[in-house]
């Protein structure tokens, strides 16, 4: 029984220099056959016995890539198929990721009228020089316009992404990006430190010594001042990188962190259903051909069991500010959390990275800066 559905749209006008997602430039001619294949994948998944929880899906999330590159009718057709195959819960969150350079008022109006009720904008920075350096296709002025268009279209649940730790970014520029973003009065903000992933353009440049980055101390300070700025603006931190006004925490994100069954469909999409993690064919044309031929599009499958599965469950729970509910853990697994992981986490406790708060185990503010070290200690 799945709680949420993720639909992957792999097309981009231009791949950002830091991006390691399953995205492709110059393939929008495949949009129609791809969406037909994705709709068939949704339908066949339901016909094969996959069901949503009682009441219907809590979330449908269109990610990418750049879903907003597609003609709205294609996205609405996919949403209709999801609704027909699985049902939507009352008040279900239906999100579309939008690149500001692809966000017209007419398209946003059609999406809102057709059932989308949340939009997530990849703004990333408040300075054109950094947007250009990141390989983004939009300007700050286009971000301003896209935000205004979404409000005019009727969206009242809007999120924006910002990045810190960029090459050449100063603290003043980061504060300016935060101030610019917060002046839009978003319901939700995600901010992330730049990471250099293998296979990206930035990785190639970094390996050649051509991409200087802020040092660790400055990046940590950028994170801390970001957390404080959002708190001062009335956005509560509910996860390491995510902040929301009351009642606006992302439903879809929380499904992942709660480790509940969520289906991912489309090229390169990943699912976690019934204790099995599976990934679909990555290349869009190959994905289309497999669906057209009636083949199973899954190419990677693994079942997490035992300590490995419990370590992942704990790591996901610790990402959230509410932390890991120790009593619920003991009921679910028949043993206290510390029986299995207490010794492994002891160094993190001594370092002040994790603490017990009431009946929960949670990261401290310091621990959020060192979260990967904490999670690795559980493995």
**Structural domains for the chain:** 4-257 (3.20.20.70), 306-378 (1.10.10.920)
pLDDT tens-digit readout, 204-256 = 999 998 999 999 999 999 999 999 999 999 999 999 999 999 999 999 999 99
Output the six-digit token pair for 262. Answer: 């969520």
Residue 249 DSSP label: S
Query: Counting every residue, how long is the chain?
Result: 379
pLDDT tens-digit readout, 101-123 = 998 999 999 999 999 999 999 99
Give which of 163, 120, 122 is closest to 143, Cα–Cα.
Answer: 122
Average pLDDT, the chain: 96
Note the pLDDT of residue 240.
Answer: 96
pLDDT at 352 over 90: yes
Would you place residue 142 in the very low, low, confident or very high pLDDT band (cuts 50, 70, 90)? Answer: very high
Helix axes of 31-47 and 284-292: crossing angle, nearest 10 degrees: 50
pLDDT at 24 over 90: yes
The Cα–Cα gap between 61 and 36 comes to: 18
Note the pLDDT of residue 304.
Answer: 85
Note the pLDDT of residue 242.
Answer: 98
pLDDT at 69 over 90: yes
pTM for this one?
A: 0.95
Q: Exposed, middle or buried: residue 302 (CB in 10 Å: 0-12, 13-18, 19+)?
A: exposed
Would you place residue 63 in the very low, low, confident or very high pLDDT band (cuts 50, 70, 90)? Answer: very high
Would you place residue 45 in the very low, low, confident or very high pLDDT band (cuts 50, 70, 90)? Answer: very high
Would you place residue 91 in the very low, low, confident or very high pLDDT band (cuts 50, 70, 90)? Answer: very high
pLDDT tens-digit readout, 253-304 = 999 999 999 999 999 999 999 989 999 999 999 999 999 999 999 999 999 8
């Amino acid at each position: 029984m799945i709680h949420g559905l993720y639909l992957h749209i792999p097309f981009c006008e231009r791949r950002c220099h830091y991006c390691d997602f399953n995205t492709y430039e110059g393939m929008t001619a495949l949009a129609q056959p791809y969406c037909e294949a994705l709709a068939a994948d949704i339908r066949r998944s339901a016909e094969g016995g996959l069901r949503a929880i009682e009441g219907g899906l809590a979330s449908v999330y269109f990610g990418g890539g750049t879903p907003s590159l597609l003609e709205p009718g294609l996205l609405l057709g996919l949403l209709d198929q999801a609704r027909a195959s699985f049902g939507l819960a009352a008040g279900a969150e239906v999100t579309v990721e939008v690149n500001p350079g692809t966000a017209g008022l007419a398209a946003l109006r059609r999406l809102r009228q057709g059932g989308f009720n949340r939009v997530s904008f990849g703004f990333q920075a408040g300075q054109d020089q950094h947007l250009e350096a990141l390989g983004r296709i939009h300007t700050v002025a286009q971000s301003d316009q896209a935000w205004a268009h979404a409000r005019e279209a009727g969206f009242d649940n809007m999120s924006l992404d910002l990045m810190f730790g960029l090459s050449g970014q100063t603290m003043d520029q980061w504060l300016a990006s935060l101030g610019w973003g917060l002046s839009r009065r978003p319901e939700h903000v995600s901010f992330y430190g730049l990471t250099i992933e293998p296979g990206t353009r930035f990785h190639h440049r970094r390996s050649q010594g051509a991409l200087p980055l802020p040092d660790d101390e400055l990046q940590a300070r950028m994170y801390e001042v970001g957390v404080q700025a959002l708190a001062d603006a009335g956005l509560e931190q509910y996860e390491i990188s995510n902040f929301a006004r009351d009642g606006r925490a992302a439903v879809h994100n929380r499904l992942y962190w709660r480790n509940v069954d969520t289906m991912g469909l489309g090229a390169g999409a990943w699912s976690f259903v019934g204790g099995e993690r599976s990934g679909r064919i990555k290349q869009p044309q190959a994905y289309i051909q497999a669906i057209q031929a009636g083949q199973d599009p899954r190419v990677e499958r693994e079942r997490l069991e035992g300590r490995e599965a419990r370590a992942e469950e704990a790591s996901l729970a610790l990402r959230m500010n509410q932390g890991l509910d120790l009593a619920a853990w003991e009921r679910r697994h028949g043993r206290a959390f510390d029986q299995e992981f207490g010794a492994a986490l002891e160094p993190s406790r001594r370092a002040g990275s994790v603490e017990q708060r009431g009946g929960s185990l949670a990261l401290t503010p310091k621990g959020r800066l060192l979260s990967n070290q904490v999670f690795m200690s559980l493995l």
